[in-house]
Chain A
């Protein structure tokens, strides 16, 4: 699976074999509980839970790495901005140079940032543990539109494809003498000539892909069938009920933590 054009990581675990709908069910439960209950402990429970699930899926290293790369800069930025300029901030907690960081702002950043990190972590978990080919099939099975499943499936493949294309363009520019390494300024300069070929190339390929799917009957007005069977199995039921049960306990006891 070396050159697979998705973020999906193939491992031998029951998490990868779960129906995508079960994972979407979990994501919806997490979002609902975090938003409705507005409780930091519950948010942290779910945050720890997603790392536990990543461990069960045998992808903990890749998961931690991916989350750190994406979320760490956002989290730091959140703390800095809210710590300094949040209008709710009153109590000065500490100063860096002459800039004061206020308690209320930092707490807000911690609260809001944790929720954001948790929800995004679940989406990332879904992307790297779900075989995109299963999404279309599972969507159709519960009566969701075929095109919605296809759209999610294609979008999941878009980023790795764009990344590959960017790497190729960068190699080509480098071969023509462009400096792509060195100081931040040089790197920034190197990435500018990458944008136009990247976007134009992606647009052209989109047209070609439209042609490719249409000449294979994509818009045919018949009930679509699926080559790969995706069933909602016993393990999916256990998974969904376990998390539903846990969430209910959290909701019932929610305010008391």
Chain B
């Protein structure tokens, strides 16, 4: 499990239509099978980071690139989106814009990527059926993706990427447009995928979920990696988060208040379960 699957080396990317922004990652290695959360304020470079792994940067965007990004043995710059699309899958925020429009029902939409890669019809039928069952879309298979709820549409988007069996799955704020119920549905699904050993890069502002799922968190701001560490280490550091225009979770803020009142000296908890445990051990009257 210690094999490196994504590697950035002296990577720099300048958009030709945005001189102010530059993504600058000196060195970064992501292990195979790990679940990495990406956090950062709006405009920090999170999406560009995802695009760099997918190969959208430099293949679909205009700009100047220095250094390299490697997906296993493939250097993204020297490869193509077609090759990379079988190694890496990308799911973005707006589920509607991810529908190719080529298929008029969920099954056909999911099969679009397979058609592009020339799979035989028999193989396609098998793969589509398998993924529909895995994602839980069986009852919607014959319906138009456009008449589904946002959460279901995002599931279709994830299924249409997963059907290509990429080793790496990038989810760039996939719950940004969704209501709490649909958000929960997506995180439950991702939890299942984690169990299957996929390498997952998850960009989100939903810290509670990231804290529960991630092995590692990368904080990005102004195009640079500010800090990389365990979820508890990053999410309990209120001053680091606030310096980077991020708000800590309510439960963590509670401990900051207790500290300010002189009633807490230990590390801040980052989940309800952890805080309950900590509080009960610190204040015997709560037991």
Chain A residues close to B by CB (< 8 Å) = 1-6, 8, 131-133, 136, 150, 153-154, 157, 205, 208-229
Residue in A208, A211, A216, A223 whose beta carbon sits within 8 Å of that of B160 in the complex: A216
A-B contact count (CB 8 A): 117
> A133 with B115: in contact, given A4-B147, A215-B90, A227-B124 (CB under 8 Å)?
no
Against A, the Cβ 8 Å flags (1 = close, 0 = not) of B71-101 are: 0000000001110011001101010111111
> A212 with B81: in contact, given A4-B146, A222-B117 (CB under 8 Å)?
no
Contacts of B128 in A (CB 8 A): 227
Chain B residues close to A by CB (< 8 Å) = 54, 56, 60, 80-82, 85-86, 89-90, 92, 94, 96-104, 107-108, 111-121, 124-125, 128, 144, 146-147, 160-161, 164
Say yes or no: A220 contacts B82, CB within 8 Å. yes
Q: Considering only CB atoms, which chain B residue lies closest to A3 in the complex?
A: B147
Say yes or no: A220 contacts B60, CB within 8 Å. no
> A224 with B116: in contact, given A2-B147, A208-B92 (CB under 8 Å)?
yes
- Please list 19 pairs of residues, one from A and one from B, whose beta carbons are closer than 8 Å in the complex, sorted by A's number: A2-B147, A4-B104, A5-B144, A136-B102, A208-B92, A208-B94, A211-B56, A213-B116, A215-B56, A216-B113, A216-B116, A216-B164, A217-B81, A217-B164, A222-B118, A225-B119, A225-B121, A227-B107, A227-B128
Say yes or no: B99 contacts A212, CB within 8 Å. yes
Determine the distance from Cα of A70 to Cα of B94 in the docked complex, in whole angstroms. Answer: 34
Say yes or no: B144 contacts A4, CB within 8 Å. yes
Say yes or no: A153 contacts B101, CB within 8 Å. yes
> A220 with B116: in contact, given A210-B60, A227-B124 (CB under 8 Å)?
yes
Determine the distance from Cα of A228 to Cα of B112 in the docked complex, in whole angstroms. Answer: 10
Contacts of A205 in B (CB 8 A): 96-97
Contacts of A133 in B (CB 8 A): 102-104, 108
Q: Considering only CB atoms, which chain A residue lies closest to B170 in the complex?
A: A215
Say yes or no: A227 contacts B121, CB within 8 Å. yes
Query: 4 closest A-B pairs (Cβ-Cβ)?
Result: A208-B97, A216-B113, A227-B111, A3-B147
Residue in B86, B102, B113, B146 whose beta carbon sits within 8 Å of that of A5 in the complex: B146
Say yes or no: A131 contacts B104, CB within 8 Å. yes
B233 to chain A, nearest CB (A): 33
